[in-house]
């Protein structure tokens, strides 16, 4: 009963202060907006007006529909009397719950880490400062991202919750009934590496770090393009395939997926480049072996306390030894228990491309240390 009283009082406060998620005046803005030019992101539109910004997220599962519309209004001025429809966000956000370690890492880079009031899935967070903040109670542990501690979120009084949407998820449960703006982080549904990274421009606007986000993306884009140009200029075209068998299926990245496209940008002959899927495709082992059995390079990701060896790989599935890349010792592994692959590469695809360039075009590289993928050892 006490928590229900607190929830009701909090929602009333949100509504009166202008933080309610919906219910703004439904009309077309009279001011003329300026659409910000986004080079790669397909599911994001940003339009600036004199007193506010409208951000529209296209539904990646039904591109003829809108996933969400946000109206960003700086809290340094009065709330305009007339605003278009959408979820009202007073910016900058100062006390947010962030479900994903990916976005926590970006906020740290943007200098907005102090705005993280709560996190989910602490066990997956590799940022030492953030883990320490959770241990000391300065940042709240809000539990499992798939089943968050709603009572703890209520007690935090956040000004927004950043979470990832999923197709046919059925909604966000009790969290979406709190009256707190939900920022649907659908960046992972972009089909190009730079398209996903470009979403940092949206997050920068949310947290008052627009200039930093624009500058960071410009640097990411420039380095990525330079590496891509080098790959295109190379006459070397190694064949490559990815991942490991998982149960009865081998999930390979589709040819139009972010991974498939970055392998193309790295100047490789990806074994499944002709596949039209933008996500992962489950295939039988025999199908993968038929297509990639003679590929030059094999890239794998795994999560183990100790780095995987060729002996470990063969012990996991003896048929792996039949691949040419295994026989010729050209398997490169990324141990995600040690490397921050999933945390860093979404907004730093240039770091991953740099790794791939060193593997696929050693004749063009100076041989610097790779961040993610390393040669498997024998034992």
- Answer with the one of 189, 221, 253 that is the final residue of a domain: 189
Rounded Cα gap, residues 231 and 226, in angstroms = 9
Do 53 and 137 fall into the same domain?
yes
Per-residue pLDDT, averaged over 164-178, amounts to 86
Do 239 and 162 fall into the same domain?
no
Let me know if residue 288 belongs to a domain. Answer: yes
Do 238 and 352 fall into the same domain?
yes
Per-residue pLDDT, averaged over 344-354, amounts to 97
Do 183 and 237 fall into the same domain?
no
pLDDT at 25 over 70: no
Alpha-helix residue ranges (DSSP H) falling in the chain: 2-17, 101-109, 128-135, 150-156, 193-197, 200-206, 210-233, 258-265, 285-292, 310-316, 324-327, 341-344, 349-360
pLDDT at 372 over 50: yes
Q: For the whole model, what pTM was predicted?
A: 0.88
% of the chain exceeding 90 in pLDDT: 82
Let me know if residue 255 belongs to a domain. Answer: yes
CB atoms inside a 10 Å sphere around CB 92: 20
The helices-and-strands tally (H runs, E runs) of the chain is: 13, 20
- Answer with the one of 157, 189, 221 that is the final residue of a domain: 189
pLDDT band for position 366 (cuts 50, 70, 90): low
Do 179 and 242 fall into the same domain?
no
Write down the pLDDT at residue 31.
64
Write down the pLDDT at residue 6.
45
Structural domain harbouring 82: 2-189
21: DSSP letter: S
Per-residue pLDDT, averaged over 231-249, amounts to 95
Let me know if residue 212 belongs to a domain. Answer: no
Question: Per mean pLDDT, which range of 81-85, 127-131, 170-174, 231-235 is the poorest?
Answer: 170-174
More confident residue, 28 or 150: 150
Per-residue pLDDT, averaged over 57-67, amounts to 95
Do 145 and 279 fall into the same domain?
no
For 185-198, how does the pLDDT look when each residue is reduced to its tens digit (9 = 90+)? 999 999 999 999 99
Write down the pLDDT at residue 18.
42
Let me know if residue 145 belongs to a domain. Answer: yes
Do 170 and 249 fall into the same domain?
no
Let me know if residue 206 belongs to a domain. Answer: no
Do 277 and 182 fall into the same domain?
no
Do 52 and 150 fall into the same domain?
yes
CB atoms inside a 10 Å sphere around CB 108: 15
Let me know if residue 220 belongs to a domain. Answer: no
For residue 142, what are the contacts with CB-CB under 8 A and spacing of at least 6?
Answer: 97, 118, 119, 120, 148, 149, 152, 153, 156
For 321-337, how does the pLDDT look when each residue is reduced to its tens digit (9 = 90+)? 999 999 999 999 999 99
Let me know if residue 272 belongs to a domain. Answer: yes
Write down the pLDDT at residue 163.
96
Number of domains, the chain? 2
Per-residue pLDDT, averaged over 275-298, amounts to 96
Do 245 and 134 fall into the same domain?
no
CB atoms inside a 10 Å sphere around CB 65: 9
What DSSP line would sit under 83-104, residue for residue?
Answer: --SSEEEEES--SEEE--HHHH
Write down the pLDDT at residue 365.
67
Do 245 and 181 fall into the same domain?
no
> Of 188, 196, 211, 209, whose CA–CA distance to 100 is shortest?
188
Let me know if residue 198 belongs to a domain. Answer: no
167-197 CB burial, b ≥16 within 10 A, e <16: eeeeebeebeebbbbbbbbbbebbbbbbbbb
- For residue 370, the domain's CATH number is 3.40.50.1980
- Answer with the one of 130, 165, 189 that is the final residue of a domain: 189
Do 241 and 306 fall into the same domain?
yes
């Amino acid at each position: 009963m006490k928590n229900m009283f607190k929830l009701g009082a909090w929602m009333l406060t949100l509504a009166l202060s202008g933080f309610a998620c919906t219910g703004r005046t439904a009309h077309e803005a009279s001011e003329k907006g300026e659409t910000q030019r986004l080079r790669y992101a397909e599911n994001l539109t940003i339009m600036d007006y004199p007193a506010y910004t409208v951000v529209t997220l296209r539904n990646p599962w039904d591109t003829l529909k809108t996933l969400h519309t946000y109206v960003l209004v700086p809290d340094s001025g009065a709330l305009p009397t007339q605003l278009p429809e959408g979820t009202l966000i007073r910016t900058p956000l100062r006390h947010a719950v962030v479900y994903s370690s990916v976005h926590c890492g970006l906020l740290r880079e943007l200098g907005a880490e102090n705005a993280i009031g709560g996190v989910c899935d602490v066990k997956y967070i590799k940022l030492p400062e953030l883990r320490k903040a959770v241990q000391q109670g300065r940042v709240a542990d809000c539990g499992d991202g798939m089943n968050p501690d709603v009572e703890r979120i209520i007690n935090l009084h956040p000004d927004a919750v950043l979470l990832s949407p999923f197709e046919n998820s059925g909604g966000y449960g009790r969290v979406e009934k709190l009256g707190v703006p939900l920022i649907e982080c659908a960046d992972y549904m972009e089909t190009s590496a730079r398209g996903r990274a470009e979403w940092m421009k949206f997050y920068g606007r949310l947290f008052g770090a627009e200039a930093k986000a624009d500058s960071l993306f410009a640097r990411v884009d420039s380095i990525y393009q330079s590496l891509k140009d080098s790959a295109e200029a190379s006459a070397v075209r190694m064949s490559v395939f990815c991942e490991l068998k998982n149960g009865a299926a081998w999930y390979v990245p589709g040819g139009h997926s972010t991974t498939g496209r970055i392998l193309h940008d790295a100047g490789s002959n990806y074994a499944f480049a002709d596949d039209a899927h933008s996500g992962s495709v489950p295939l039988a082992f025999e199908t993968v072996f038929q297509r990639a059995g003679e590929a030059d390079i094999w890239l794998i990701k795994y999560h183990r306390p100790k780095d995987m060896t060729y002996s470990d790989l063969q012990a996991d599935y003896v048929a792996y030894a039949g691949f040419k890349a295994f026989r010729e010792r050209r398997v490169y592994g990324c141990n995600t228990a040690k490397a921050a692959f999933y945390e860093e590469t979404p907004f730093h695809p240039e770091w991953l491309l740099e790794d791939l360039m060193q593997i696929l075009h050693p004749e063009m590289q100076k041989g610097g240390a790779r961040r993610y993928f390393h040669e498997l050892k024998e034992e």
